[in-house]
């Protein structure tokens, strides 16, 4: 979770995609606006993709402080297991949202509405 958040109640929800450029930051923004009772953050599960595209790479701190970890795809969960172990699996949910959307694309928002409840 990003340090210095201003909310103290609600759950800490972490959205994870590969590069943290389109899907997970879109989810962070969307749910911050529409379900503001929780604290939201986002990160990318691929260090290579985050470096290449300028996304925020997932840190152990993010995983430890999350009450829920919502991965966009199974490969994001696999990246977490590979790099940080399987201890976070009880917190992980996989939304099943493919990597073919732009940031805040309307069809992506519809996927959030259909597949994620916060």
Cβ proximity of 56 and 24 under 8 Å: no
Could you tell me the pLDDT band of residue 9, with boundaries at 50, 70 and 90?
A: confident
Q: What angle do CA 108, 112, 116 make, to 5 degrees?
A: 160
- When the pLDDT of each residue in the chain is averaged and rounded to a whole number, the result is 93
**pTM assigned to the model:** 0.91
* 6: pLDDT strictly greater than 70: no
Nearest-angstrom CA–CA distance, 100 and 33: 23
């Amino acid at each position: 979770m990003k340090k210095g958040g201003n909310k103290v109640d609600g759950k800490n929800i972490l959205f994870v995609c590969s590069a943290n450029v389109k899907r997970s930051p879109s989810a962070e923004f969307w749910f911050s606006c529409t379900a503001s009772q929780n604290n939201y953050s986002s990160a990318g599960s691929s260090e290579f993709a985050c470096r290449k595209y300028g996304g925020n790479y997932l840190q152990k701190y993010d995983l430890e402080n999350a009450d829920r970890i919502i991965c966009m795809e199974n490969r994001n969960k696999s990246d977490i297991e590979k790099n940080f172990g399987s201890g976070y699996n009880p917190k992980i949910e996989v939304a099943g949202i493919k990597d073919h959307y732009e940031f805040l694309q309307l069809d992506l928002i519809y996927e959030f509405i259909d597949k994620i409840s916060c």
